[in-house]
Structure 1
Amino acid sequence: MAAGIAAYRSGNAPDILQVFEVGTATMMYSKGAIKPVADVMKEGGQKFDPKAYIPAVAGYYTAPNGQMLSFPFNSSTTVFYYNKDAFKNAGLDPEKAPATWPEVVSAAAKLKASGSQCPFTTSWMSWAQLESFSAWHNTSYASKNNGFGGLDARLEFNSPLHVRHFENLSNMSKQGLFVYKGRASKPITSFTSGECAMFIGSSGSYASVKRDAKFKFAESALPYYPDVQGAPQNTIVGGASLWVMSGKPAASYKGVAAFFTFLSSPKVQSESHMRTGYLPITTAAYELTEKAGFYKENPGTDVAVNQMIKKTTDKSRGVRLGNLPQIRAIEDEETELIWTGKKTPKEALDSAVKRGNELLVKFQAANK
């Protein structure tokens, strides 16, 4: 992302730049560096209907005026994976995933009793257990509609619900029911190796799980706290989108528009979705996949879509904050202190909010 913006400043930018979802605000405020995808499609003479895209996906990359800014490509979301063989060995129903967090704790206890050294783990602590957790519970991650309402948004993930959740994870950690396996996507190998029996990760990991796991597994919806009003709501998008850089000749934009039309065709999106586990970004691609019988033949592979197709709220549309990659790093640093016993969940979340807000203040000042 930084290299792409720098390349634009020096006049050497590519036509298309792939940027992960947390870079959305930075790209938006990159002062003339990007050309909105809606404009590219119109000028390129290609039919383009934002309503054709899954709402939670399109909404993440849409400006306040309703204009889509970038093209959703490898979009994913958080899902729950579990080892069906381990469940059976623990006396659990291998066809029924825990639907709530209390059920996760109960299942983890039975898995541990059956010999599991890692009943539950999670990848992407910041994305899965803070950002997506907030949306799933229809609870604010940050003010100003999680940043969609303006640059003066401030972090709010030290609420009673967030503290309660991390106290729950902390207690699970102390009992050996939750084992922290590292940042970002690193924990996935702990699941595919069979070490960890339950795992929250990206739907985009489906292909690698299917390839590497030597056991029967299934995907399910994220667990939630049943006493929280509005839960479960929807999860938020992960992965990346394609941004079109400005200052290119009309012929280049015509080619980009044609390429995006190809990428968004139901056939291409459906095949990509079935192969990788990334979302079929359009409703038509989802319907084509369903018609082909893929979901019946591969139970659980429709979980990611079902979590995303629900109409979003101001609290569940997603997160649009400047310096979000750095904020995620802070969240990782602070929550790691919980698992080592150096901070309480409240202390860690309060500190992460304070440090993160300092970065938001700087981003606001730089982009007024």
Structure 2
Amino acid sequence: MKKTVLLFALAALPMSTFAARPASRQAAPAASASEIELTSQLPADKREALAALIERFNAQSKAGKVVLAEREPSAGKLPSLMILDEASEASLAGRTKPLQQLMKEAGEPLQVGKMVGGVTSPALFDRSGKLLALPVALSTPVMFINEDLARRAGANVAKSPRTWSELQELAGKFAEAGVSCPVTVTHPATTLLENVSAWNNVPFANPKGGLSVNGLGQVRHVARMASWSKANYLKFYGRGDEAVEHFAKGECGVMLAGQSEFAAASKGGFKVAVSPLPYYEDQPGTPQNTLADGPALWAAAGKSAGENKLAARFVRFWLEPAQQVEWQKATGYLPLNKAGAFAAGSSLLGDDLRAVKTAVTELVSRPATAASRASAIGHNHWVRNILNEELEAVWRDGKAAKLALDTAVQRVLSCAQCRR
């Protein structure tokens, strides 16, 4: 029964299928390309999975090969395909080809659709709803708990904290037991502001495209996190995924991080429990939904028809059910289509599926509201930098939470790059 529920939840993640129309019969065949280049900004622990995927494609491809290049995409001629984080994505604006257009012109099907109910960034779509890039590395934050540390701290490992108040109680037990890092977090701006806002049904962005992170709920939350930091309940290790290494070493009791960190978080030899993000029980409508984001696969503009055809064939291969299963098993990222979701659900993934199941539940258990929908501004690299700077001023310098969030809102208003 549980497996059936999971299958339906996973299948609901992507909606309609974009089917590219076959190329015109009168069109001349595209000249073949012997090889195309792909560069990646995926985390280091995911690159092995990408290399394996490319190797499988090349082994069966008669049309040409994909070469994984270890370089910055902007260093020289753009590669045909690029897995970009939000910073590089912004820097290469105007130099990419919409993925849906690439597939249509190549006569290849694109077996993926819009993500349900606005839980993924609208920056991946153009104004007409056409897909610009393939979100190959989707994650949403969940809660990882070191059960061995929790047991030694006298906590009830059979009952994970559901609310921030319950997590505070657990953090206190860790601290009393001598744990140096009771709680930690990856990507603080995304996790503690954007996703906590959505999870608690509080607007992160306003209808005019600006930020709304200085409301009462967000100020209260940041102030609480500041008090945890002062009490040594909460440790910050950086703006990215630096906290994962510390959790994996057994230094931290709890980590708030994307579900795709499950494999890395579990390398320490201790049992890891996975639970949803905490929520505020006094906030109406909670828990609501979290948001999925991550690096995406972009195609470069200005390539030959043969290069584009080979790139499109690689994308089609990536979206095949068998490849979706392997990709999910190796990376912990969310499946990209219904075929991948059903295939993954029928595979013997065992415990590896726990984090994905929790993530999917967070994303689809309730339809997104106007307050909890993903926003383009939340995906913006410059906005995230501003939020991280202001949050760090709270933890490091003692800046008041309200002042820091007010400042963030004003800085984004005057930031030209933040409006793109």
Common fold by TM > 0.5? yes
Other-structure match for 1:222: 277
**Do the aligned residues in 2 keep the contact of 1:116 with 1:196 (CA within 8 Å)?**
yes
Deviations, residues 112-157 of structure 1 (Å, cap 9, x unaligned): 222222211111111111122222223221223xxxxxxx511111
AA in 2 matched with 1:130: L
1:284 aligns with 2:347: no
Deviation at 1:241, TM superposition (A): 0.5
**Do the aligned residues in 2 keep the contact of 1:60 with 1:318 (CA within 8 Å)?**
no
Identify which of 127, 132, 142 aligns with 1:69: 132
- Cα gap change, 1:71 to 1:104, in 2 (>3 Å): same
Unaligned runs of 5+ in 2: 1-40, 42-71
- Cα gap change, 1:35 to 1:301, in 2 (>3 Å): closer
Other-structure match for 1:45: 107
In 2, distance between residues paired with 1:163 and 1:307?
23
Other-structure match for 1:108: 171
Within 5 Å, give how 1:278-317 maps onto structure 2.
278-295=333-350, 299-310=354-365, 311-317=367-373
Kindly indicate whether structure 1 or structure 2 has the higher relative contact order, using CA contacts under 8 Å at least 6 residues apart.
1
Deviations, residues 66-117 of structure 1 (Å, cap 9, x unaligned): 1111111122221111100111112222233211111111111122222222
**Do the aligned residues in 2 keep the contact of 1:80 with 1:199 (CA within 8 Å)?**
yes
Other-structure match for 2:304: 249
Other-structure match for 2:189: 126
**Do the aligned residues in 1 keep the contact of 2:333 with 2:356 (CA within 8 Å)?**
no
**Do the aligned residues in 1 keep the contact of 2:183 with 2:234 (CA within 8 Å)?**
yes
Deviations, residues 300-321 of structure 1 (Å, cap 9, x unaligned): 4421222233443344342313
- Cα gap change, 1:110 to 1:236, in 2 (>3 Å): same
Unaligned runs of 5+ in 1: 145-151
Secondary structure in 1 aligned to 2:399? coil
In 1, distance between residues paired with 2:99 and 2:225?
41
1:184 aligns with 2:240: yes
AA in 2 matched with 1:244: A
- Cα gap change, 1:200 to 1:353, in 2 (>3 Å): same
Q: TM-score normalised to the size of structure 1?
A: 0.85
Other-structure match for 1:36: 98
In 2, distance between residues paired with 1:78 and 1:60?
19
Percent of residue pairs identical: 30
Deviations, residues 217-253 of structure 1 (Å, cap 9, x unaligned): 1221111112222322222223210111222222222
- Cα gap change, 1:80 to 1:184, in 2 (>3 Å): same
AA in 2 matched with 1:162: Q
**Do the aligned residues in 2 keep the contact of 1:295 with 1:301 (CA within 8 Å)?**
no
Deviation at 1:214, TM superposition (A): 2.6
**Do the aligned residues in 2 keep the contact of 1:136 with 1:316 (CA within 8 Å)?**
yes
Deviation at 1:184, TM superposition (A): 1.2
Other-structure match for 1:337: 393
**Do the aligned residues in 2 keep the contact of 1:17 with 1:243 (CA within 8 Å)?**
yes
Aligned length: 348
Deviation at 1:60, TM superposition (A): 5.5
Aligned-pair Cα RMSD in Å? 2.6
**Do the aligned residues in 1 keep the contact of 2:141 with 2:277 (CA within 8 Å)?**
yes
